[in-house]
Amino acid sequence: MALVTSIHQALKRVQFPQNAVLLIEDTSHETAKTLFNLTEYLDLLIPRGGKDLIDLVVREASVPVIETRAGNCHVFVDATAKYDIVRPFVLNANTQRPSICNAIESLLIHDEFFNNYGKELLETVSIAGVKFYGDEKVCKAFLVKIKFNHNCSNNVNLIKITSLF
């Protein structure tokens, strides 16, 4: 919704009709399939969602599609971050709907933050069912396998400690 609001504000500034960009709030696959073929009304589809939805759009749409595919969403936790904000954020980004496109797969933690809160943060996400692979510092603190070049899937994070930021 925030993205569409931002686009509407930009369209208004350049005196372009705001209804040129619409948000379809019905997320059912049936509604999506109907939209795929409305070539007389739609110029372009940019599907946002899980892999299954994106595959369905690419396979069945007659309207041109910008294929977003799977990405790798990163979160960086700075040295000055507040633990009481970071903990629920990281937990939600890993557990609310881990199969969707905005769930995090990589967590970069500043080493100063990690030294203060890292073990507690990783224990929290582990208890919630999140699996993770880490660099040497994570492994020493939490006894997990070193496997940083892992191909992520649901509820798996790659964790790297850094002092470069």
Domains and CATH numbers, the chain: 2-60 (no CATH), 73-162 (3.40.309.10)
Cross-strand pairs, 108: 76, 160
Distance from the Cα of residue 102 to its chain's centroid: 2
Say yes or no to pLDDT of 113 above 90: yes
The predicted pLDDT at position 148 comes to 43
DSSP per-residue string spanning 99-122: TSTTSEEEEEEEHHHIIIIIHHHH
Distance CA 114, CA 136 (A): 13
Cross-strand pairs, 158: 106, 133
Q: What is the mean pLDDT of residues 13-29?
A: 87
pTM over 0.85, yes/no: no
Quick one: tokens of 132?
């993770």
Say yes or no to pLDDT of 20 above 50: yes
Largest CA distance in the chain: 59
Strand order in the sheet with 104-110: 73-77, 104-110, 156-162, 131-134
The predicted pLDDT at position 149 comes to 43
Name the amino acid, one letter, at 30: E
What are 24-45's pLDDT values in tens digits? 888 787 887 888 889 998 888 8
The predicted pLDDT at position 1 comes to 76
Quick one: tokens of 136?
């040497």
What are 60-108's pLDDT values in tens digits? 999 888 876 666 678 889 999 999 999 999 888 877 766 666 677 788 8
What is the Cα gyration radius of the chain? 20
Nearest residue to 93 (alpha-carbon basis) of 105, 84, 77, 109: 105
CA dihedral sign of residues 80, 84, 87, 89: negative
What are 99-108's pLDDT values in tens digits? 666 677 788 8
